[in-house]
Structure 1
Amino acid sequence: MDRPSDDELVAAVASGDEAACRALMDRHLTRMLALARRMLGNHADAEEVAQEVFLRVWTHAGRWEPGKAQFGTWLHRVATNLCLDRLRRRRGTEDIDAIPEPASGEPGPDRQLEQRELAARVEAALQGLPERQRAAIVLSHYQGLGNIEAADILGVTVEAVESLLSRARRQLRVALATERDELLRSREISA
C-alpha cells in the first residue's frame, strides 16, 4: 500500500481534510519538536513552536506550490524562523528560572548518569551559541539536513552555512574543552 506524498497530503489539507493534517503531523511532528527543543532549550516552548508550525500548515495549505520546494524543507524553515523569533524576543528578558543549572561535575553511579551529564553540557554549550550558528548546527547535525537544505531554510548561501558551522564547531570545542578542564580540576580537588 503506497503512502500519499507530503504534497498530496497538503493538497488534502487545503480542502479541509483533518485526517491528512494528522498524517502530516504524524510524519513530521517528532522532528519539529526536536529542532525546536534544541534551538530553544526547553520542551514547553518547543511544543508551542511545533503547534504553531502545524497551525500554519492548516492555514496556509492552499498556498502550497508542489515542486517549488520540499514540504519538509519548508516545515524546517518555518520552525527555525519561529525559534529565531522567540530567541530574539527572549534576549534581554531572560527569566532567572529559565537559566539551566550548571552541571555538578560529580561522576554518576553508572554510565547512564554520565551520559545525561555529558548531554547537559553539550546542550548548555549549544545554547551558548549565537542564534544563527545554533540554527546551522541543529539543522545540520541534529536534523540531518545537508548544507544546501540548511542554506535554503536559513535564507543564506551554502558558503554562509559552511562558515556558520565552522564558527559554531570552533566555539563548541572551546566551550566543551573549558567545561572538561573545569570538571577534571573539580575531580582532582575532591580526590
Structure 2
Amino acid sequence: MSTANADDAALVARIAAREEAALREAIAAHAGMVHRVAYRMLGDAHEAEDIAQEAMLRLWDKAPGITGRAIRLGPWLKRVAVNLSIDRLRQRRRNAGEDVPERADEAPLADALLEADQRDAAARALIATLPERQRAAIVLTYYEEMPNAEAAETMDMNIKAFESLLHRARAALRKAFEEQRMAEGDAA
C-alpha cells in the first residue's frame, strides 16, 4: 500500500472511530475538489455546496464500512460527488419536465472577458445537453484533468468502457458544436 493510500486509510479509520478532527481534515483536503466536480456537473454553486456537504456526510456515515480497505479518498469522494450530481440532474428533469436553462452573467465585463465568458457559457450549455454519464466523463477528464484510468475508477467503470463513453461524449459535443455553428451561419 502506498503512503498516500495508507494515509487515506488511516484518516478513514479515524473518521470511523468518530474523530471529528479527522473529518475536518478530510473536509479541508477534499471539499474544494468535491465542490468543483458538483459545480461543473450542475452549473449551480448552491447545489454544488449541498452536494459537497452531502458527500462529506456520506464519508462520515460510510467510514465504518470502508475501514480496512485500500482506499484512495479523493477518487472515492469524486465518485460520490458524480453520483450525487447525476441524481440531482435526474431529479431536476423529473420535477421540471425539461432542462433547466443556464443563467447568463449580466455583470459588465471587458470585451475580452465577455468573449471568453460567452465561449465558456456556450461550452457549458453544450456539455449540459449530454447524458449524465457522458457529462461526468467530460467533467472529470477536462475540468478535473484526471487521467482516464482514474476517471474510470471514479465512475466505477473499466478503462475501455470509460474510453468508449468519453469517445461518445466527444462525438456528441463535436456534432452539437457543428450544428450550433451552422445555425449561427444561417442566422447571419
Q: TM-score, normalised by structure 1?
A: 0.82
CA separation of 1:66/1:140 partners in 2, compared to 1, >3 Å: closer, same or farther? farther
- For residues 115-134 of structure 1, what are the structure 2 equivalents within 5 Å? 115-134=116-135
In structure 2, what is the equivalent of residue 58 of structure 1?
60
CA separation of 1:167/1:96 partners in 2, compared to 1, >3 Å: closer, same or farther? closer
In structure 2, what is the equivalent of residue 99 of structure 1?
101
**Cα offset for 1:43?**
1.4
**Cα offset for 1:176?**
2.4
> What is the aligned-residue RMSD (CA, Å)?
2.8
1:143 counterpart letter in structure 2:
E
In structure 2, what is the equivalent of residue 72 of structure 1?
74
In structure 2, what is the equivalent of residue 152 of structure 1?
153
1:99 counterpart letter in structure 2:
P
Cα distance in 1, alignment partners of residues 96 and 78 from structure 2: 25
Pick which of 57-66 and 20-29 moved more: 57-66
Cα distance in 2, alignment partners of residues 101 and 82 from structure 1: 22
1:52 counterpart letter in structure 2:
E
Is 1:40 the counterpart of 2:50? The answer is no
Instruction: State, as a whole percentage, how many aligned pairs show the same letter.
Output: 40
CA separation of 1:60/1:67 partners in 2, compared to 1, >3 Å: closer, same or farther? closer
CA separation of 1:36/1:16 partners in 2, compared to 1, >3 Å: closer, same or farther? same
* Structure 1 alignment gaps of length 5 or more: none
Is 1:23 the counterpart of 2:25? The answer is yes
Cα distance in 2, alignment partners of residues 176 and 118 from structure 1: 11
Cα distance in 1, alignment partners of residues 141 and 99 from structure 2: 30
In structure 1, what is the equivalent of residue 136 of structure 2?
135
Question: Given that residues 21 and 58 in structure 1 are in contact (C-alpha distance below 8 angstroms), is that contact kept between their aligned partners in structure 2?
Answer: yes
Cα distance in 1, alignment partners of residues 99 and 166 from structure 2: 30
Deviations along 1:122-160, one digit per CA (max 9) or x if unpaired, are: 110110001111111111221222222222222222111
Deviations along 1:94-141, one digit per CA (max 9) or x if unpaired, are: 27894125799xxx7521111111111111011000111111111122
* Structure 2 alignment gaps of length 5 or more: none
Deviations along 1:7-58, one digit per CA (max 9) or x if unpaired, are: 2222222222222211111111111111111112211211111110000111
